[in-house]
Structure 1
Amino acid sequence: MPKKNVRIGGASGFWGESAMATPQLLDAGVDYLVYDYLAEITMSIMARAHAKDPAVGYAGDFISAVLKPHARAIAAQGVKVIANAGGVNPAACGEAARALIQEQGLALKVAVITGDNLLAELDAIAAGAPTEMFAGAAFPDKQKIASINAYLGAFPIARALAEGADIVITGRCVDSAVTLGACIHEFGWSASDHDLLASGSLAGHLLECGPQATGGNYTDWEDAGDISNIGYPIGTVSSDGSFTVTKPEGTGGCVTVGTVSEQMLYEIGDPQAYMLPDVVCDFSEVEITQLGPDKVYVSPARGYPAPDQYKTCLTYGEGFRGGTYVSFYGFDAARKAQKFCDNVFARAGKILRGHNLGDYSETSVELIGAESQFGDYASDHQSREVVAKIAAKHSEAAAIGILLRELTGLGLATPPGLGSFSGARAKPSPVVRLFSYLTPKHAVTIQIDVDGKLLEFTDNPGQPFNPASITRPAIPALIETSDEMVTAPLIQLAWARSGDKGNKANIGVIARDPDYLPYIWAALTPDSVARRFGHFIDGGAAAARIDKYYLPGAHAINFLIDAVLGGGGVASIRNDAQGKGYGQILLAHPVAIPAAMADKLT
């Protein structure tokens, strides 16, 4: 049987992204457009909006910025569209899509997949009192819960396509499912095709963040060129699970081994046990090869049977937070900024006590631009410009309002050199925390609505997965050499990309040359990484919980650091609450290499 290919364009990586991808990918020619709008923060925002207005709670820009201007071209070209734009209200999103299609006189069939939203079952879930799957925390107060969503998989999407749907709208599914669903439909993959499902999931993982696979957030950022016109990724997937990644001709950005490898390691934990509803993926032996300019080949992944439970994410309110940024200039800028922040909290604290409001539950001061605390290869000159980020949490919005007022009120009593951008004063905002747990698949009812035709869908029941059963690759051994050893910064030897999962951060490190990897592995130990991020880790470096994984196929390492984001997402008051800059911090880490190897570095 000849190998069949399908071209899939990754058109959105988050709710609110630029609308430039859709026309670009339509002009390039694709079979499918896939859109990923959802994250845990997004779900909580949509849930709050839906609570105020039952007609909203979905990604409205999918209707206004994708379908309204481009539905005619989508219909004319026969392109299928898959999007998790439904948020917490996929039915309303589907109705809006159908109304627009009718208004434009088009014959596009819309399918809506529901069943992920479990908020209506809150009482029963609370009675079962599941514990948080990572931290073991107790189930939160149900009065504070905003959303509960199980992460569905790709087979319902494939079924909707089989029913003739041109546009498939889901609520919360795993990000990669919008791509895998298309592959299952096109190639006839079954629930037992574990390696193929893992490979299609990897294709989805590479496409789900749009231009992050084509030069966005890339270590070698200058190679991306004109990012104002960056190209969005196109995955050409084959029936054997292999695929290539390209971008539309004439666009900015770049597609290289580095960009694709960085995205493969982005926001994953154990690369040999990347658990999805349809399959457990093993990316450790995947090879990534440059075929030509802006064209990269990705070999198939390995897979294991689907798990028997859905990861389920609950968001709940936990008080309020607020803060702002101010800048200081001139001599001793950092000391002046710290003095200002200390006294803002001192003044606000006195007012809190006068109102019997109690102290802030958490405070944060970060002096951005102050002398580096990362040592080697980082600047330690005396900063003459510093931005101070000051923030706090409290159970009462009024207490945050006091802090924000005193931030302004201290302006005439400050050390010299204070500056700030004028505008509206910051306001208190809700703290939303994430609580993850597992829901048995049999407890979730999935329904597919294809223009009024209702179908009950029964998912693969799956089976328990035991990570201890995985065979781990042998760690890279140092090559014996009598050559003198010298140190180089990691950035000369590797690319890196970091991201978040709740209160955990991952940092993927990919060797620029396979020969570098043994030295990188030896230098980057859990202890050395803990020391570099100790000021971020709850309890400091001594309390660090860091896992280190090896991916021999990509010549890469993945670190997973626990309790390092101050709660993560909108529960955090850190400047980098999602760990996006952690890879850049790690790239200053010194690595000992033979002098002969150092001579070859550019």
Structure 2
Amino acid sequence: MLRIANCSGFYGDRLSAAREMVEGGPIDVLTGDWLAELTMLILAGNRLKGRPGYAPTFLAQLEQVLGTCVERGIKIVSNAGGLDPAGCAAAVAGLAGRLGLRVKVAHVTGDDLSGRDLGDAPNLDTGERLPSAPLTANAYLGGRPIAAALSAGADVVVTGRVTDAALVTGPGIWRYGWRPGDHDALAGSVVAGHVIECGCQATGGNYAFFGEVPDLAHCGFPLVELASDGSSVVTKHPGTGGLVSVGTVTAQLLYEIASPRYPGPDVVARFDTIELEQQGPDRVRISGVRGEAPPDTLKVAINYVGGYRNTMTMVLTGLEIEAKARIAQEAIWSRVPRESFEQVHVELTPLADAVPPPRTVPLSGTALLRITVMDPDRKRAGRAFSSAVVETGLASYPGFYGLAPPGDASPYGVYWPTLVPAGTVRPRVWLDGQELDGQELDDRRFTAPEHDGRGSGEHGSGGPAAGDQGCDGREGLPAPRVAPVAPPVPPAPLEGPETGQDGDGPAVRTALGAIVGARSGDKGGNANLGVWVRTAEQFAWLSGHLTVERLKELLPATAGLEVDRYDLPNLHALNFVVHGLLGRGVAAGPRLDAQAKALGEELRAGHADIPRALL
């Protein structure tokens, strides 16, 4: 087995995680994901201010473990290079020198397309044409350049924008020699990479049934034991908090996906073929994953400056909340006309309902009235707006107060996904500052040297790499049109007096969350919402009950939007993609929940008539 550990799920994750993973038990490869769509924009801003275009927190973690990794032969693979992989690699080499260590450092480039004429690149989600010059433009590379770096002898590999799963697929290609046609093995590695890419989300973090998770405050990071056929076991180090169960793994599998076909640069992984098995405490086996040839395009994430934004939030308390919100807006727009701004977004969010149903008085409790304005003119969106809100303080609704003083507008970025032909993007691999020649990079097989067991302590990882094994991440690529693999057939709905199918037979009116788990998130301007249950009988009910129409009833914010539903009966799960809920992406999104992280919990709070036999 190749033991691949994760020590970071985002730029800002727990700094002690690398040390915990290296010292907590045997591993062969230490990986970490530092990049999200928003992170590239943050790094661009840092670079404009003269700061590094990579994630310096990676170096802080590395300083704690580099010596131990060199001693044990643990490889390190990270996308912390961001917009400057070469600069990050140089910083790693400098750190190694200060620590008195001899380390071979590789970095991967070729993802940066900002100098290329992308024209009016069509938006992958909306079809619109790019309206402005890019601030950043990065293609999502796959795992093969990482494998080339490791095959050339690199101890540390730093990349720019690669798919999140490539951090696992690359080491898998290196160790087992998978060829491009080994679709099933590659797909299995993509699924394993998708599970651990978000750190503790695979080990009980952000889990719907959090009451089942022991010692969440000390949640351990995940690792996978990756086999030569692409199957894997998800686990964590002994003695750490958290939980690895079929439920926690299912939750992460549903995170930020769309169709069950999950395309990437190396392979299309079929999420509707995944089989999960609880092998023991904190051990879940993933097997059966089928793969298909990747598309002939790569996704490119573009960011450009969209204008300026400003937000003011007022608190509404007591009776007649909606009437107070109307009065507040009338007072504000009388001072600064609403139509003078390019965009205005108003969000009324109840925080507490003091009057339980059935109500005999108008809506009461506490709510937030959040108003965001966006405009190309910084002055118009700045204090001209926020000061106007404050000016209404003594001439507005009773109980008026705000959450922040008047402030200036700030620039915001727009995320713009598009596609380019894969053949027009050339990955480049550098080792200790020297570029590997094309022959090494284009080699269709990568074979790791015979493993000496240092990375796994006394347990080892077993023998030389395999040769032929038979035959990110999606990151928003469209699914290729190929013959489908038949998914498992869901069981027939329950029959008889205990079914309670939408009113037939005994049922209990209760929250969906009594049996339904959920996880939601962002992918550009769209939101993904995955829901699952634990048994085939519960799934038979859920698949019939939770239609797109019913979802829109339970989540009013989705009512006027296009929603796709995908069934994954092998996981007892449904996945919904809500198009356009997040506007132009996280950086430009005016919603209070700009990344749709809470959308799943909002759905679970909705009520349904659930058959008593399923509770």
* TM-score normalized with structure 2 length: 0.86
Report the alpha carbon displacement of residue 417 of structure 1 after superposing the two structures with TM: 2.8
Q: Which residue does the alignment assign to 2:519?
A: 497
User: What CA distance in whole angstroms lies between the structure 2 residues aligned with 1:570 and 1:75?
Assistant: 39
Higher RCO structure (Cα 8 Å, ≥6 apart): 2
Q: Which residue does the alignment assign to 2:29?
A: 32
Report the alpha carbon displacement of residue 533 of structure 1 after superposing the two structures with TM: 3.1
User: What CA distance in whole angstroms lies between the structure 2 residues aligned with 1:181 and 1:270?
Assistant: 24
Kept in 2: contact 1:345–1:403 (CA 8 A): no
- Give the counterpart of 1:444 among 422, 425, 438: 425
Residue identity matched to 1:207:
I
Per-residue CA deviation, residues 45-79 of structure 1 (Å, 9 max, x unaligned), is: 212332343x621111111x212232222222322
Per-residue CA deviation, residues 196-230 of structure 1 (Å, 9 max, x unaligned), is: 10110111001110001111111012223433321
Kept in 2: contact 1:400–1:428 (CA 8 A): yes
- SS of match in other structure, 1:96: helix
1:104-123 mapped onto 2 (5 Å cutoff): 104-121=99-116
User: What CA distance in whole angstroms lies between the structure 1 residues aligned with 2:238 and 2:317?
Assistant: 45
Kept in 2: contact 1:360–1:394 (CA 8 A): yes
**Matching of residue 486 in structure 1 with residue 504 in structure 2:** no
Q: Which residue does the alignment assign to 1:366?
A: 348
1:393-412 mapped onto 2 (5 Å cutoff): 393-401=374-382, 402-412=384-394
**Matching of residue 125 in structure 1 with residue 113 in structure 2:** no
Q: Which residue does the alignment assign to 1:134?
A: 125
**Matching of residue 284 in structure 1 with residue 272 in structure 2:** yes
**Matching of residue 99 in structure 1 with residue 88 in structure 2:** no
Per-residue CA deviation, residues 26-56 of structure 1 (Å, 9 max, x unaligned), is: 1222211111111111112212332343x62
**Matching of residue 253 in structure 1 with residue 234 in structure 2:** no
Report the alpha carbon displacement of residue 311 of structure 1 after superposing the two structures with TM: 0.8
Kept in 1: contact 2:493–2:537 (CA 8 A): no
Q: Which residue does the alignment assign to 2:481?
A: 467
Percent same amino acid among aligned pairs?
35
Q: Which residue does the alignment assign to 1:207?
A: 196
Q: Which residue does the alignment assign to 1:56?
A: 52
Per-residue CA deviation, residues 541-595 of structure 1 (Å, 9 max, x unaligned), is: 2x43222112122111111121122333111101112111111122134444444
Report the alpha carbon displacement of residue 141 of structure 1 after superposing the two structures with TM: 2.2
User: What CA distance in whole angstroms lies between the structure 2 residues aligned with 1:475 and 1:429?
Assistant: 50
Inter-CA distance 381–179: structure 2 relative to 1 (3 Å threshold) = farther
Inter-CA distance 544–332: structure 2 relative to 1 (3 Å threshold) = closer
Q: Which residue does the alignment assign to 1:267?
A: 256
Per-residue CA deviation, residues 240-288 of structure 1 (Å, 9 max, x unaligned), is: 22222222223222222111100001000001x1010000010112122
Q: Which moved more, 1:310-319 or 1:236-245?
A: 236-245
**Matching of residue 318 in structure 1 with residue 318 in structure 2:** no
User: What CA distance in whole angstroms lies between the structure 2 residues aligned with 1:469 and 1:140?
Assistant: 37
1:292-303 mapped onto 2 (5 Å cutoff): 292-303=280-291
Residue identity matched to 1:429:
S
Q: Which residue does the alignment assign to 2:168?
A: 179
User: What CA distance in whole angstroms lies between the structure 1 residues aligned with 2:364 and 2:15?
Assistant: 39
User: What CA distance in whole angstroms lies between the structure 1 residues aligned with 2:568 and 2:358?
Assistant: 27
- Give the counterpart of 1:390 among 353, 366, 371: 371
User: What CA distance in whole angstroms lies between the structure 2 residues aligned with 1:71 and 1:397?
Assistant: 46
- SS of match in other structure, 2:387: helix
Residue identity matched to 1:141:
S
User: What CA distance in whole angstroms lies between the structure 1 residues aligned with 2:358 and 2:147?
Assistant: 50
User: What CA distance in whole angstroms lies between the structure 1 residues aligned with 2:485 and 2:536?
Assistant: 22
Kept in 2: contact 1:130–1:139 (CA 8 A): yes
Kept in 1: contact 2:259–2:479 (CA 8 A): no
User: What CA distance in whole angstroms lies between the structure 1 residues aligned with 2:167 and 2:291?
Assistant: 18
Residue identity matched to 2:118:
I
Q: Which residue does the alignment assign to 1:576?
A: 593
Report the alpha carbon displacement of residue 530 of structure 1 after superposing the two structures with TM: 2.4
**Matching of residue 11 in structure 1 with residue 7 in structure 2:** yes
Kept in 2: contact 1:506–1:561 (CA 8 A): yes
- CA-atom RMSD in angstroms: 2.7
Inter-CA distance 555–131: structure 2 relative to 1 (3 Å threshold) = same
Q: Which residue does the alignment assign to 2:334?
A: 346
- Give the counterpart of 2:179 among 174, 180, 190: 190
Residue identity matched to 2:210:
W
Q: Which residue does the alignment assign to 2:469?
A: none
Kept in 1: contact 2:491–2:537 (CA 8 A): no
Per-residue CA deviation, residues 292-332 of structure 1 (Å, 9 max, x unaligned), is: 22222222411001221111111112111121433344444
Kept in 2: contact 1:523–1:590 (CA 8 A): no
Per-residue CA deviation, residues 94-116 of structure 1 (Å, 9 max, x unaligned), is: 11111111111101111010000
Q: Which residue does the alignment assign to 2:473?
A: none
Residue identity matched to 1:366:
L
Q: Which moved more, 1:524-533 or 1:165-174?
A: 524-533
Kept in 2: contact 1:519–1:592 (CA 8 A): no
User: What CA distance in whole angstroms lies between the structure 1 residues aligned with 2:73 and 2:331?
Assistant: 63
* Number of aligned residues: 568
Residue identity matched to 2:137:
I
Inter-CA distance 83–400: structure 2 relative to 1 (3 Å threshold) = same
Report the alpha carbon displacement of residue 406 of structure 1 after superposing the two structures with TM: 2.6
Kept in 2: contact 1:475–1:550 (CA 8 A): no
Structure 2 alignment gaps of length 5 or more: 445-476, 499-504
Inter-CA distance 421–283: structure 2 relative to 1 (3 Å threshold) = same
Q: Which residue does the alignment assign to 2:550?
A: 528
User: What CA distance in whole angstroms lies between the structure 2 residues aligned with 1:377 and 1:304?
Assistant: 54
Structure 1 alignment gaps of length 5 or more: none
Per-residue CA deviation, residues 108-144 of structure 1 (Å, 9 max, x unaligned), is: 11101000000111xx321xx33122211012222xx
User: What CA distance in whole angstroms lies between the structure 2 residues aligned with 1:434 and 1:125?
Assistant: 15
Report the alpha carbon displacement of residue 427 of structure 1 after superposing the two structures with TM: 3.7
Q: Which moved more, 1:522-531 or 1:275-284?
A: 522-531
